[in-house]
């Protein structure tokens, strides 16, 4: 069993978007959090089938920067 960090955002329409930074092109979206978790697990499994390598970076945090 492997652990992955997932970044979750909400767009202007309320759609939730999940992305796994350590896996290339590994993201999905859904209208509810529960559905998002089901979908991201499926996508992670698919990404692991097609990718031989992935980077397991340590998540530090998110910082808002005003420019």
pTM for this structure? 0.82
Helix, strand, coil percentages (3-state) for the chain, rounded to 5, are: 25, 20, 55
Q: What is the CATH number of the domain that holds 31?
A: 3.30.160.250
Number of domains forming the structure of the chain: 1
Helices (H), 1-67: 33-50
Residue 26: which domain range?
1-67
Note the pLDDT tens digit of each residue in 29-65: 999 999 999 999 999 999 999 987 777 778 888 888 9
CA atoms within a 13 Å half-sphere pointing along the CA-CB vector of 13: 5
């Amino acid at each position: 069993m492997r652990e992955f960090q997932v970044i979750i955002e909400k767009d202007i329409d309320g759609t939730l978007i999940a992305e796994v930074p350590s896996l290339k092109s590994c993201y999905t979206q859904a209208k509810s959090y529960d559905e998002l978790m089901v979908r991201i697990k499926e996508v992670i499994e698919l990404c692991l089938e097609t990718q031989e390598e992935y980077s397991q970076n340590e998540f530090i945090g998110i910082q808002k920067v005003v420019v």
